[in-house]
């Protein structure tokens, strides 16, 4: 049996519930295919911050370094801890310290699930640069609390990071339908986004078998809604990718279906897998949260670990259940509870 060590961080709110529900089918499919997940759970959350002043211990990154993968639920509890503290105290340090530069988010409709669009035959893979750009954290504030207060936020783009995320996107496009959409706002942002466009054109010459289209972010946002079936692989900066993938979540039926992987394709460090949704304080504790995004993220984790057959079967099991929305959670029109849905999917494996 192949063993994999998994750091489990349920986090805040519904994160605890969806992780518990998702692990039921994830464990089942792994075991069926000869893999054993050795899990260690870390209680790192906003509650941790309120107790200790830190979202995770000072040696948290080093603690995680020895694991094969990280499965995270959700982070944030804005009533007690500002979002900028929870984000910069847990999620972003993991992404940056392990150089998890590729944030991968698939967008397609599962059987039986309807989105708000007439179009339903889309299959989009959005790849977001995950370590710099608009979320670099560089900047500051001066004259705080005065009429002259100034806040500066600096977006940092390097040739190294732009090239590697675009190259990863080109490689994925080669494995899929051979189309890549690169998005910027280079008509208005004349330095960083122009550099991005230039590197896109340089790599396009190397990947002559991939059809490349350059979009401005506003035009691509509209196209995801009007012609999603025309898109294959999208590569975007940190901020633009964040926006586009929320659109992607909306057209695929909601955040309950939006999975993501934060990976370092070179390996040697644990990659992190998490649903796109937040902690949803309004329904936390009700047992009604949809675990499918976390289960799908778990499938991406298994594939990253080399368990491709298990990953494929897990999504297939989800698809067998989604055909009857009455068996799903309330966000899909059903009455199922989180753990019951996780078990129902496990039973289809």
DSSP 329: -
- Give the up-direction half-sphere exposure of residue 236: CA atoms within 13 A in the CB hemisphere: 28
- Residue 218: count of CB within 10 angstroms of its CB: 12
- Count CB-CB contacts under 10 A for residue 247: 19
The residue with tokens 């649903």 is: 275
Question: What's the Cα-to-Cα distance from 130 to each of 95, 171, 187, 281, 345, rounded to whole Å?
Answer: 7, 17, 23, 26, 31
Q: Is 242 a catalytic residue?
A: yes
185 given a catalytic annotation: yes
* Residue 248, both tokens: 């992607």
Whether 197 sits among the annotated catalytic residues: the reply is: no
Catalytic residue among 123, 197, 246, 331: 246
135 is catalytic: yes
Active-site option among 12, 68, 232, 242: 242
Which of 286, 348, 294 lies closest to 322 in space, CA to CA? 348
**Does 43 qualify as catalytic in the annotation?**
no
Active-site residue identified among 101, 135, 168, 215: 135
Active-site entry in 43, 218, 324, 347: 218
321-327: long-range contacts, CB 8 A cutoff, minimum separation 24: 321/345, 321/348, 322/110, 322/111, 322/112, 322/113, 322/292, 323/111, 323/112, 324/112, 325/112, 325/113
DSSP string, 225-239: HH-GGG--EEEE-HH
Which of the following is catalytic: 4, 101, 168, 185? Answer: 185
> How do the residues of the chain divide into helix, strand and coil, expressed in percent and rounded to 5?
45, 25, 35
Distances 120 to 108, 110, 113, 223, 260 between C-alpha atoms, Å: 8, 10, 9, 14, 21
Closest CA to 203 of 192, 216, 214: 214
DSSP secondary structure string, 136-190?
Answer: EEEEEEESTTSTT-EEEEEEE--HHHHHHHHHHHHHHHHHTTSEEEEEE-TTT-T
The set of catalytic residues is: 135, 185, 218, 242, 246
């Amino acid at each position: 049996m192949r063993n994999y060590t998994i750091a489990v961080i349920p986090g805040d709110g519904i994160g605890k519930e969806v992780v518990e529900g998702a692990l039921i089918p994830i464990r089942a499919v792994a075991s069926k295919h000869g893999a054993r997940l050795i899990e260690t759970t870390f209680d790192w959350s906003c509650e941790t911050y309120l107790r200790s002043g830190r979202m995770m211990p000072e040696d948290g990154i080093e603690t995680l370094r020895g694991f094969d993968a990280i499965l995270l639920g959700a982070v944030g509890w804005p009533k007690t801890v500002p979002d900028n503290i929870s984000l910069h105290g847990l999620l972003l340090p993991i992404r940056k310290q392990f150089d998890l530069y590729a944030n991968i988010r698939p967008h397609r409709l599962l059987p039986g699930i309807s989105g708000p669009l007439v179009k339903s035959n889309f299959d989009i893979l959005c790849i977001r640069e995950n370590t710099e750009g608009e979320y670099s954290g560089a900047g500051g504030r001066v004259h705080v609390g005065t009429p002259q207060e100034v806040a500066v936020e600096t977006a940092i783009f390097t040739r190294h990071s732009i090239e590697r995320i675009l190259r990863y996107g080109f490689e994925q496009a080669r494995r899929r339908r051979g189309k890549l959409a690169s998005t910027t706002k280079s008509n208005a942002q004349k330095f960083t986004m122009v550099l991005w466009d230039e590197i896109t054109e340089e790599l396009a010459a190397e990947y002559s078998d991939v059809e490349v289209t350059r979009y401005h972010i506003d035009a691509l946002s509209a196209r995801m809604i009007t012609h999603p079936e025309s898109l294959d692989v999208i590569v975007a900066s940190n901020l633009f990718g964040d926006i586009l993938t929320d659109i992607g979540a909306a057209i695929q039926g909601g955040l309950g279906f939006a999975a993501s992987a934060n990976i370092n394709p070179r390996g040697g460090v644990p990659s992190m897998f998490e649903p796109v949704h937040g902690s949803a304080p309004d329904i936390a504790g009700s047992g009604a949260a949809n675990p499918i995004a976390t289960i799908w993220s778990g499938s991406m984790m298994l594939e990253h670990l080399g368990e491709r057959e298990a990953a494929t079967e897990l999504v297939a099991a989800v698809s067998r259940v989604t055909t009857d929305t009455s068996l799903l959670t309330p966000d899909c029109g059903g009455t199922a509870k989180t753990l019951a849905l996780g078990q129902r999917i496990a039973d289809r494996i």
